[in-house]
Structure 1
Amino acid sequence: MAYILRTHVKKKYLFYGLQSVYGIGPFLSQQICKRLGFKMTFLVKDLTDEQLFQISQCVEELGIPLKGELQRQLKQNLDKLLTLKTIRGVRRRQGLPVRGQRTHTNARTPKKLRFLKK
């Protein structure tokens, strides 16, 4: 098991192992592998310390927000919606569906939890 970008990677292949890092999906994982010259079937256990360093340098060059920074950005965006009192922010605070789904027959759980919160 390797430790890539402050995350324990339990996957066998590097392509899938990079996806276990919060903020890296299939596309970014593929970009990182191509940029560093790794094949899709490169094993995580075969990584050297120098290659681990190269991976972290590549992520910094791409300017990808990871883990705490990404979570902080998402929270700031949600707080901004709440302070502007947009429909999305109000519905999110109430625990109701945000994107126009019906609530008459669906979304029972959020409606139940809304009354329990008060």
Structure 2
Amino acid sequence: MQTTKEHDERMANMTFSSVYPHYIVKVEKKGRTTEELQQVITWLTGFDAKDLQRLLDNQATFTQFFAEARLNPNAQLITGTICGYRIEDIATPLTKQVRYLDKLVDELAKGRKMEKILRSSSGPFEAS
């Protein structure tokens, strides 16, 4: 299933600060912590807590968010379906990156083990 131009534009212009509180609610409702959420985001993007707070304060769009990110080399190991889209079939790089983040948050909320979420058993790259 391919994304539409309108869908991709909506993803690009959405602010990280508008989505982040929903991520927190989702993971905390399932017994996970904000610290675990930040660990997952750090693994994917390279952002530390200070970077995340700056991006939240500046109401960075996902375009800005991922332009500053250092995407984890193992991010392509994130596969499956999220929000009705098969991640590996998404052609637009930014939309794929947003869906990577959505998928990791979903896995965290579903109780998946952190080493599986961080794909640490699949390669040498470890979360920092």
Note whether the superposition's TM-score is higher than 0.5: no
Tell me which interval the TM-score lies in, with the shorter structure as reference length: 0.3 to 0.5
TM, length-normalised to structure 2 = 0.30
Larger relative helix fraction: 2
If asked which structure has higher relative contact order (CA below 8 Å, sep 6+), I would say: 2
